[in-house]
Every structure is written in structure tokens, then in C-alpha cells.
Amino acid sequence: MKKKKIGVYICHCGGNISDYVDVEKVRRAVEDEDIVFLAKTTMFACSDSNQREMVEDIKTNDLDGVVVASCSPKLHLLTFRNVSLRADLNKYTYVHANIREQASWAHSDNKIGATEKAIHLVKAAIAKSRYADALETNKVKAIKSVAVIGAGVAGMKAAISLSDKECDVILIEKESFVGGRVAQWDSLSTTTETGKEIVSRLYNDLIKRENITILTNSEVVENKGSVGNISLKIKKVPRYIGGSCHPEDLKRAIEVCPVEVPDEFNFRLTARKAIYKNYPSEYPQTPVIDIKNCTRCGACEKVCPAINFSEKDEILEFSVGSVLMATGFDSYTPTYGEFGYATSDNVITLPQFKRLIDTQHDKLVYKGKEIKNIAYIYCVGSRQTDGENTYCSRNCCTSTIHAALTAKNKFSDINNYHFNRGLRTYGKQEILYADSLRSGDIYLQSYEDGLPTVTVEGKKTIVKINDILSNGREIEVEADLVVLVTGMVPRADNTIGSLFKIPKGRDKFYNEVHMKLRPVETVIDGITIAGTCQGPKNIAESVNSALSAATKSYSILSKGELETDPLVATIDPEKCTWCGACEAACPFDSILKVEKDGKTIAEINNTVCKGCGMCAPVCEPDAINLIACSSAEIMSMIDALV
Amino acid sequence: MENPIKNRSYDALVIGAGIAGGEAALNLANTGYKVLLLDKELSVGGKMIMLSKVFPTLDCAACITTPKVSEISRHPNITIFTGSEVGNIRKLSDNEFVAKVTRKPRYVHIEDCTACQLCEKACPVNVRDQYQFGLIGRKAAFIPFSIASPKAADIDIDNCTLCGACERACPTNCIDFTMETEILELHVKTVLIATGFNLFDPMNIPRYGYGKYKNIITAQQMERELAPTRPFNTILRPGDGKVPDKIAYVLCVGSRDASVGNPICSQICCMYSIKQAQLLMGALPMADVTIYYINIRSFGKGFEEFYQQAKGMGVNFVKGKIGRISEKENGNLMLRYEDINEGKLQEAEHDMVILSTGVLPNSGIDKLFENEKLTLDQFSFVGQSDMLASPAKTSIEGVFVAGTATGPMDIPDSILSAGAASSEAISYLIQHA
């Protein structure tokens, strides 16, 4: 090892570190290490002035590398690698130590311990720094094509944005029709446009673009490769209805179909046939046969010549540069008996209520009964104190009040009773709350320890609450309809998430790297997330997130090539005796069996290898090492840590 | 990097260099477009750079903002004009706008200033420091704040007595009183409005006593007291410098209040108050912090958990809107309110009160445009012509809007809105190339 000269910078992080770790003590503890030429503390290592100072220090003192002890590398590893680059050092000579999340924040109750730990962490980083040599990045070709998974509003907007930037898009939708959740809504707040009209507008824009391929009835079943070159296998299930299909024939076919199933699109309020379209202006315009429920009786075939049961599943293959997830959300389904759900006759959910008021006119009727008194119970499935969903679903308050006002304006004699836990009509949406109060709606409030109860007494449904706004008075409402304001939950079906190994946050939605610095990226290179799959949002917020994700997905690929970190595994061909253990251990299929100089050995595919290290411990002859994480480096770090 | 103005045409003009404007500028610049980023303040970074910590992660605001600010200032495709204003924007065609830019002189040659602060020390004039929201003073020759970008001195000519002490003290001779206002005509292809917001001035609610009673400050002022680059060594109340131990937060000051002309919810105050309360519990472990609220709006990702965390830490939450504040002889304050839980009128004594003021629109943005009409919405924020499907579009084609210029927003929402606005602007530039 050559004798190096490094600089060590210990960050106060504006108090986040220095409030618990004595950074000056850490500095004194490391400044005499043999390779440390200078050691400084700084208020904000990432600030412009400190970055400039680091560049100065490196150039003036001819340093070989720097170590910064600060926050998680998730925030500023790249920032400081770039500082090294600007000082004409190879960026892989930079070593990072996390003394915020790993010392100060984890041990805020033990300042002495936190400081000691920080000292060891920095010494370990210095030990690693001895080995941190210049590395060349791998350059891979970046295919200028993005797979957008989900053709709801977020997916469609992302696709349009990418198409504008002359990027090819494969828009993959699992359902038979595009539009996602917004297509299930008609009246929307702040606009006279219906949800279906917005979806139509977006679809009509999409369909004109040659660089967008729309695949419905399709799901990704396999993926290989890594950012820049991801191979996807997509299974496309047939519609069983040929292209040119006369609308009259189709209408007959739907009429004669004997099968009826609950209509998921209408939130199970109605039934549909096995051959169906959700609504007349839906896209794509061809109906579809739900083959799982179809009994193959043949009645439809007799009246419609375009029906073709011999259509087969197709497997399509595409290679893309990055993937944008826009898979949306599910609505919370209340548990059996929750506020009378499934046990009482007239308890429905908010999505069902919205469908009800949108599809009816003159009178609001449910199960044969005309509805006058409506009780809304808020926060069902959100802000749970004894359940997993501790988060707030963000837009249900606004959505409910809008639905309540719509009902009041559309039907006569509607009385709205809002049983809530504090209204969250944030921002300009506050106006809806004010309008609702002015129109005579009654608001009754409780905290989480005094939730309303729903009981059935004979033919009456009584909703009761101890209303804190009237000093705890017990108030009961005889409700014709009880609407449970159900929130957003992550999709129950996580097949696609598991396929791409997308991590989830505390609330089980997909996890972004950092809410402010990297809000649409995931820790998997090349996979971005958009819309409600990341967390509850309204339409405008989903669109903002989708456009940001599109910009990000595109920027990775725009140069036609990208650099991947060379922090991969290497195999010593002298030691390897090909046993296959590493190939079996690799989760990314990046190990190949090759012939080299008459010997069968294993070889790593550098562009696919993620440097996870699963192969290294299973190698008996110890032929595998990780670049920048070699056994020698790790051992020297361990020596510094203990 | 302040480029010398050789080139007077840019692809995009971004008005406002806060986080929304900065993020949008970076996206455009990274795609290869030349951007002119303009701000009327002396530094890039908007309101975010002056904050202490951000909710709900409690990252330090400076730690997140300064690297972005650094990236913006170094980017070869971004030209930054601080202390500058724009006006008379005329749309000539689908891909040409002409704008008048007025650059106010700093009387300091930025490229030679090392921010050594010797001019500050020499200057005899003391005025209230607007960057510390009036908590302390500054000189007429001053560096705006320690993490400003550009980090260079400015001469506040309105308060300067022209004594010349700063000029004499400056080791690089970069102070130049002959500098003049520059007026430039710029040609750009697209405009992005990221002009941010104003905070409600609690002087408009006289019954709260702000300005009259010294120990009532705004949350923005408390933000400075909590920030690492704070003006004082501890948290103190301005009246007598005492460290407070019974602190009250009054929410919805100037929001949800038609009587002061702002009926909407400002969206961020519940969260920033809860954040400050947590930081205060950390800084002053013996202190009592009470938040008087109407409803707690903790709706975003991680927000509800953050609220529960504050409750767990011992922050008191009292449901009741403060009606009136009066002062006792010792500087303590009496808060009068209807306690909803108790069902009666109460009076509570606190030694320091913080008013959580609301978000108001920045005025006059529509006046920047000359021959086309920029529609404002009913609350005087910049109107969004296709609010649901294209929230960044305005009534003028080719002009986009990002961040709190459209309405109250927190930082993550502003950043995503800037991502959307830059995406629309890039699409526009490609279509009208």
C-alpha cells in the first residue's frame, strides 16, 4: 500500500450530529492517524462554501482522497464523490462515514457512547480509505425507452411526457381498459370535467403518438438486466373479441350472456356479464371477455362473428432503459362488522357512495329505499390506533365533503351528518368545508378514543357519538345510509412489486429514496415511482409526481449511455474451479459459466452485477472478492471498529 | 457562477430561485437547455434555506438546500441574477418572449468578494436584519447570511451613509459605489413562474398584540432561533431575553379566516408548528409547549406519525381558537380562548407566544406580463388553466408555474410541482423548437 494523504471532514450537520456527538473530540481522535494529513470539523459539509474549501484543500495539499463523516450516504455520497471529481481525483477514492443515522440519531440518549462510536466509525472509514483506489466506471449503452407500468392518470401523463421528449414508451396495463381509478369517478372537485372525460382526453393524446405502445390485458412476468438495458417479458391475455366488431352485434352478445358477476368497476354495487365494457366511452373501445368467469356456453358466439375463443396468450419481449411504476392504489375494505359493514343493510364505502350519486338522478335510492339522512364516518382504515394503517389518507375528507355537497345539490331533502375526527380539507380545499357548513351540513367530532357506533334497532340504523364540539353530549342520528370514508391502501396484489424488488415504506406504499432530495427514485437503479403507488394523493398531485418521475426516468437515459458503479464482484480465474455455488447464490443472474484457457470457470457480468456480495461467502476456494469491499478492506475496517 | 452577460437570449427564464425555481432550473439545465434564473433577493434558496429543520424527517434544512444551491450555482447551463426583477414580459410568438430585467447594483464586485466580513465590522450603520426577520440587527454593508449564495457582500444603499469605511476596510477593493442599475432586454423561449409566497402579517390582527407585546413572535422568527445559524445562543424571548418555559403556539393566524380576507387553509402551519414544538422540547427539556388549534392537518406521508410522536414527547394540544391575547406586567401573556374539550372560556398564561402565520400569494405576478393575460385564481394565486391534468399550465401558453406561486404547499409538493413544470416546459421547448 502506498502512503496516502487524506483529508477528513467531520460535519456538525447543523446540530443534527453535534448536538449528540462531540465532533471536536472525534476530530482530535483521528487527526493523528498515519494517512490523515488534515482533519477539520464543519457546520455543513454539503454547503457550497465547504465544498469549495474541500476542493481547495485537495488541490493545495495534493491530497489523495477525502473522508466525510456526516449523514447517510443516501443523501450526499454522490455530492462528495463529485467534489473529489472537481478536484481532479477519481471519485471512487472518496469514502463516506455515516455518523448521523448510525451514531448521533441512534444514540441520542447516550452522548458519550455516541461520540465513541463516531470515532470508531470514522477510523473505519479511514482504514477503508487506505484501499480506496481509482476505479473506472462501467459504461453501458442506455436504451432510450421506458416501460410505464399502469395506465391510470399517472401512467398516461408520464407516457405523454416521455413521448414528448422523443423517448419510446411501452405503457403496460394489467386491466382490460385504461383509466385506472379516475375512470371510476364522474364528478370531481374544482372542475366540471368528469373523471371519464379526463381519461378520454389523455387517451386521445396517447393514441396519436407513434412512440407509445399501449398494451392492455398485459402484465410483466419476467425481468432481467439492469438500468440502461432491462429485458422484460410481458404476458398479454386475449380479449377474445376480434377487431372489427359491429356495435349492435356486441350489444346482443352482452344481452344473451347468461353469466353475472359482481361488477368491480362499480364497486360491487351492480353486476355485469362475462362479456363486458365498463362504460360506453371506455378505451380501448373493444369489449372483453372475462375468461375466468365465462362458462363457454357459446351464446355470444352465435350472435357476434367477431368473437374468437381460439385467441391465445401472447408473450411479448421488450428491452427498455428504465421502468416507471404507476400501479396505483386500492381502497380500504372495512373488516366484517366494522361500523356495521357487511352486517348492516345500509352501510357502504365512500367509493360506492360516489358511484351511487353519479349514476342516479332525481331520487337517491339504495336497496329500494329512498335516502334522506346520510351519516359519514371518517377515517375508516386510516389513522388507526389498533391497526396497521397509522397514516392519514390525505384526500378522503375533501372527497367526502364534495360527494356530500354533490348529493345535496342533486337530490332533494338530503341531510348530511359528518362523524369526523377533525377535518383535513387542506389548502384551497377548505372552501368546500365552508360551503358544506353554509349549506346546513352537521359536523360531529370525536377523538380516536371515542369513535362513533353503528347499531341496528329494528328497522332503524342509529349512529351515535359523544360529540366533543357540544361538550361531549351524546348525539344520535337515524341514518338511511351510512357511508364509511375509506382511505387508500397499497395494492393488495404485489406481484409486480416483488418482481422488481421494490422496497416499501412504513406505510407499505413504495418507498422513495428521500422525500425531498430524491422523491421519485427507488433504491433500485432505473426504477422510478409515480402517483398513488408511492402514497395517497389527489389527481393533481399524482400528475405532478408522474411528470417528475418521467423527467427523472428520461434523464437517466437521455445521453444514450450511462455509467454504472464499478463496485462489482470479481472472480480470480486461477482459484476458481467451477462448482456452480456462486451462480446458484446470485439473485440477479449475473454469473456465467465460461471456458477460459481450457478451464471451465465462472465469470461475472459487470453490467448486471449489483455488488450485493451473496456470491462471496459461498465460494469455497475463496476466489471471489468485491471491489471496494474486499476481504482485506473489511478486515481492516473491523480492526478499526473494535 | 455569475456569467458576464454576453448572451442575452436563453431557452428558459425561471422567475424565482427558491426550491421550486431551483429544482425546475436544474431539470431544464440537465436536459441541455440554457436557463436564466432570477431572484429579487440577494441569495438563491428562497424561504427554505432560512429554515431550521424540515418536517417530518427533521433533516436540517440547510443540509438539504445548500447542495442543491451549490449544484445550481456551478451548473454551466444556469445563469443566476440575484437582486434582480423582471417585468414587461411580452409574448412575441409561440417560442419567443421578451422580458425587461432590472439588476439592482450591489456596489460590490461579487467575483472579487471573499466574504471576509471586514466591511461589516467597519460599517457604522445598524438596521434591522430582514434575513433574521427583525430579531437582530445588521450593518448596511453586510453578507446576507452565512450560507447565502452568492456568498458576497451587499451595500444596502437606502441605509448607507456613504461614509466609505467599508471601502477602506475591503482587502480586495471590490466595493464600488459607481455601480449602476442595469436594464437588460432578454429573449427567451419559455417562462416558468416560481415566485413563492408571502407570510401573513399578524399586525393585521390587532387583538393578538403582535408588535405591541414584545414576547409574541411569528413562527418564522422562531425558525431562526432554532436554526443552527441562529442569531442568539439559546432560545429566548425578545422582551427581556429570558429563556421561556411555558410556550404557546397559536395556529391559523391569518388562515381559515374570512375576516382578514383569507378563507383557505395554509396547509403547512400545523406541521411546522408541530416540528418547532418538537425542536423546542429538545432544546429546552424543562419547557412546556402548548399548541392551540382548530384542526390538526397532518395529512401527508409520515405526517400523522410525526403528530403522534409530538404528543408522545409531551407537547400539549388544546382544541380552541385563541380569541385575544393580553400582556401582564412581567411580559407574560394571557391567552383567551374557548376550550372545546372543557366547553368553556379559559385564560391561559404563557411566557412566550408564537403565531403560526399563514401563506398568502405574492402579489403583482400578473402585472409582469404585458400583452397576454396571466389569470389569477379567486385567492389571487397564479391560476392553473388545467388544474387536474396539467397543474403547471397557466392561462398563457408557454408560461408555466411551479411551487407555492399556485397556492400553499410544503417542500415535497413544491419539488414535485417543479418537476412537473420543468417537464411541461421541456415538452414545450421540444414542440416549438
8 Å CB contact between A136 and B399? no
When pLDDT is averaged across residues B249-262 and rounded to a whole number, the result is: 96
- Using the beta-carbon criterion (under 8 Å), do A515 and B57 form an inter-chain contact? yes
The mean of the pLDDT values for chain B is 94
CA distance A218 to A315: 9
3-state secondary structure B23-43: HHHHHHHHCCCCEEEECCCCC
Residue A369 CB coordination number (10 Å): 13
- The string of pLDDT tens digits covering residues A7-41 is 999 999 888 899 999 999 999 999 999 999 999 99
- Using the beta-carbon criterion (under 8 Å), do A166 and B430 form an inter-chain contact? yes
- pLDDT for position B4: 46
- The string of pLDDT tens digits covering residues B286-313 is 999 999 999 999 999 999 999 999 999 9
Distance from CA of A390 to the nearest CA of B (A): 7
Picking from B33, B127, B174, B145, the residue whose alpha carbon sits closest to that of residue B82 is: B145
> Hey, is A521 helix, strand or coil?
strand
The amino acid at A342: A
Asked if this assembly's ipTM is beyond 0.85, the reply is yes
A188 touches chain B (CB under 8 A): yes
Q: Which residue of B has its CA nearest to A396?
A: B299
Residue A426 CB coordination number (10 Å): 26
> Hey, is B192 helix, strand or coil?
strand
pLDDT at B7 over 60: no
Which of A17, A47, A448, A556 would best serve as a mutation to test chain B binding (most B beta carbons within 10 A)? Answer: A47
- Using the beta-carbon criterion (under 8 Å), do A48 and B151 form an inter-chain contact? yes
Strand A442-445 relative to strand B182-188, pairing:
unpaired
- pLDDT for position B6: 45
Q: Which residue of B has its CA nearest to A435?
A: B263
- pLDDT for position A36: 95
Distance from CA of A164 to the nearest CA of B (A): 5
8 Å CB contact between B291 and B273? yes
- The string of pLDDT tens digits covering residues B309-341 is 999 999 999 999 999 999 999 999 999 999 999
Take residue B332 and report the three cell numbers written for it. 407574560
8 Å CB contact between B408 and B267? yes
- The string of pLDDT tens digits covering residues B187-229 is 999 999 999 999 999 999 999 999 999 999 999 999 999 998 8
Using an 8 Å CB-CB cutoff, list chain B residues near A51. Answer: 67, 70
Tell me which residue has cell 403528530. B307
- Using the beta-carbon criterion (under 8 Å), do A552 and B379 form an inter-chain contact? no
Take residue A267 and report the three cell numbers written for it. 364497486
Residue B48 CB coordination number (10 Å): 22
- pLDDT for position B3: 43
What pTM, to 2 d.p., does this model score?
A: 0.92
Ranges of residues in chain A whose predicted pLDDT is under 70: 1-2, 243
Nearest to A392 among B59, B303, B413 (CB): B303
- Using the beta-carbon criterion (under 8 Å), do B391 and A424 form an inter-chain contact? no
Using an 8 Å CB-CB cutoff, list chain A residues near B227. Answer: 14
A468 touches chain B (CB under 8 A): yes
Task: Name the phi and psi angles at A467, rounded to 5.
Answer: -80, 115
CA distance B65 to B57: 14
Tell me which residue has cell 450591489. B106
List, in order, residues 6 or more apart from B168 with CB less than 8 Å away. B122
- pLDDT for position A1: 52
3-state secondary structure A217-254: CEEEEEEEEECCEEEEEEEECCCCECCCCCHHHHHHHH
- The string of pLDDT tens digits covering residues A590-617 is 898 999 888 899 999 887 788 889 999 9
A396 touches chain B (CB under 8 A): no
Greatest C-alpha distance within chain B = 69
DSSP secondary structure letters along B55-119: TTT--BHHHHHHHHHHHHHH-TTEEEE-SEEEEEEEEEETTEEEEEEEE---SB-GGG-----HH
- pLDDT for position A2: 59
A330 touches chain B (CB under 8 A): no
- The string of pLDDT tens digits covering residues B77-96 is 999 999 999 999 999 999 99
Long-range (24+ apart) CB contacts under 8 A made by B232-237 are B232/B135, B232/B136, B234/B283, B235/B280, B235/B283, B235/B284, B237/B331, B237/B351, B237/B352
CA distance A506 to A515: 13
pLDDT at B1 over 50: no
- The string of pLDDT tens digits covering residues B270-285 is 999 999 999 999 999 9
Residue B163 pLDDT class (50, 70, 90 cuts): very high
Distance from CA of A129 to the nearest CA of B (A): 24
CA distance A238 to A217: 7
Query: Residues 238..257 of A with a Cβ closer than 8 Å to B: which?
Result: none
Please report, for chain A, how many H helices and E strands are present, in that order: 15, 34
Using an 8 Å CB-CB cutoff, list chain A residues near B308. Answer: 390
What percent of chain B is predicted at pLDDT more than 90? 91
Q: Which residue of B has its CA nearest to A157?
A: B389
Task: Name the phi and psi angles at B137, rounded to 5.
Answer: -100, 170
Query: Residues 559..588 of A with a Cβ closer than 8 Å to B: which?
Result: none
Picking from B200, B234, B3, B230, the residue whose alpha carbon sits closest to that of residue B110 is: B3
- pLDDT for position A628: 86
Is it true that the peptide bond before A284 is cis, omega within 30 degrees of 0? yes
pLDDT at B388 over 60: yes
Rg of the Cα trace of chain A? 30
Of A561-565, B34-38, B425-429, the one with minimum mean pLDDT is A561-565
Nearest to A165 among B340, B387, B427 (CB): B427
- pLDDT for position A226: 85
- Using the beta-carbon criterion (under 8 Å), do A422 and B295 form an inter-chain contact? yes
Strand B96-103 relative to strand B84-93, pairing:
antiparallel
- The string of pLDDT tens digits covering residues A316-325 is 999 999 999 9
- pLDDT for position B247: 98
Which of A541, A542, A545, A557 would best serve as a mutation to test chain B binding (most B beta carbons within 10 A)? Answer: A541
Q: Count of A–B CB contacts within 8 Å?
A: 216
CA distance A69 to A31: 13
CA distance B227 to A415: 50
Using an 8 Å CB-CB cutoff, list chain A residues near B301. Answer: 391, 505, 507, 509, 515, 534-536
Using an 8 Å CB-CB cutoff, list chain B residues near A509. Answer: 301
- pLDDT for position A362: 87
Picking from B278, B289, B284, B290, the residue whose alpha carbon sits closest to that of residue B242 is: B284
Using an 8 Å CB-CB cutoff, list chain A residues near B387. Answer: 190-191, 540
